[in-house]
Amino acid sequence: MLIDTYGRVATDLRVSLTDRCNLRCTYCMPEEGLQWLAKPDLLTDDEIVRLIRIAVTQLGVTEVRFTGGEPLLRPGLVGIVERCAALEPRPKMSLTTNGIGLKRTAEALKAAGLDRVNVSLDTLRPDVFKTLTRRDRHRDVLEGMAAAREAGLTPVKVNSVLMPGLNDDEAPDLLAWAVENDYELRFIEQMPLDAQHGWKRDGMITAGDILESLRTRFTLTEEGQEERGSAPAERWIVDGGPHTVGVIASVTRPFCAACDRTRLTADGQVRTCLFATEETDLRAALRSDGEDGSDETIARIWKQAMWGKKAGSGLDDPSFLQPSRPMSAIGG
C-alpha cells in the first residue's frame, strides 16, 4: 500500500503523459516561451505501462487518471490504455483533456478500455474562450464532448475555472447547459500552478462566490460528506435531482485530510501533492540494470515517497512557495 504517516492510503494514480498542450490557457501557461521537456527525459510507453502495472499489482492503486499537458497529444495513448485495461486487477481508467482531439479519438479510447473523460471548458462564449485559451477552438471542444458522450465515455465531467472580468458571470449558464446536455459540471478554484507565477488570492473567484451565483437560478441541496468520500469535489443536487454540480475548492476549502492521490509526472517523478516542492525520481530506477531497476526496488522507492507526504498543501502558510514546475509539467 501507498500509506503516509497520517494514515491516508493512495489508491488513485494521476499519470501525466506529456507536458505539451495545444491551448495556452492564461491560468496555466504563458502565451509563448515555455520550455518543453526533452524527448529523452519523457517516459516511454513501456515505462509508463510498467509503472502503472507496479502501482496496480503491488501498491494497491485502483484508479488511473491520464493527464497532461494534453494527453491526447501522446501518440501511444490508445495503446497505453489498452495495455492497462488488460491488467489484473483491472483499474478504473479516466482521462482529463481539453477536448480538442476527442472527436477523432473517443471511439478508439472507449474500445481500448477507457471508462470516462473529464473535459476542461470554462465558457460557453467563443470569444471568451479565445481570450482565455489564446486559441479559436471552442467548437472543437463542444464536438469532442458530444463524441465522448456518444461513445459511452460517461459520465462526461466538465471542469470550469472562473476568472475575474472574463467569465465570472457564467456559472448559472454553464450549469443550465450542462444539465441540458447531461454533463456533470464541476467548478475549480484557480490554483497557484501557473507557469508565469501570476496567481493572486485577492480577487480569486471562490467556492462561496460560485455557489452564491448558482443559487440565483437553482436550488442546491448539499449531498454530504458521506457521499463525497475522498473525492475532491463537494457536490450539490440541482433542483431536486438527478443532476449534480460540484465545486473543487482547493484554496478556500482544502480537502487534504481525505486525499487518496499519488502523482506521476511525464518525466517519471513521483509527486505526493499538486503543491509539493519536492519530487522523487522513479525514472532513474526504471532505467537501471539489475536489482536497482527491479519492480520491488521501484515499489519501495514509491512507498518511501508517499510515506513522507505532508499533512496539507500549505496554501495558508505565510511561507508557502508555488511549485517551480507549472501544471502542464506536473499533471492535473
Annotated binding-site ranges for [4Fe-4S] cluster: 21, 25, 28, 256, 259, 273
CB 189 within 8 A of CB 248: yes
Task: Give the annotated binding-site residues.
Answer: 14, 21, 25, 27-28, 65, 69, 96, 120, 157, 191, 256, 259, 261-263, 273
State the number of CA atoms in the 13 A half-sphere of 41 facing the CB. 12
Task: Give the annotated binding-site residues for GTP.
Answer: 14, 65, 96, 157, 261-263
**What DSSP string runs through 87-129?**
SSSPPEEEEEE-STTHHHHHHHHHHHT--EEEEE---S-HHHH
Residue in 50, 52, 58, 47 with CA at minimum distance from that of residue 2: 58
Task: Give the annotated binding-site residues for S-adenosyl-L-methionine.
Answer: 27, 69, 120, 191
Count the residues in the chain.
Answer: 332
Residue type (1 letter), 149: R
Strand-pair category, 184-188 with 116-120: unpaired
| Cα distance between residue 207 and residue 234, in whole Å | 10
Within 10 angstroms of residue 164's Cβ, the number of other Cβ atoms is: 13
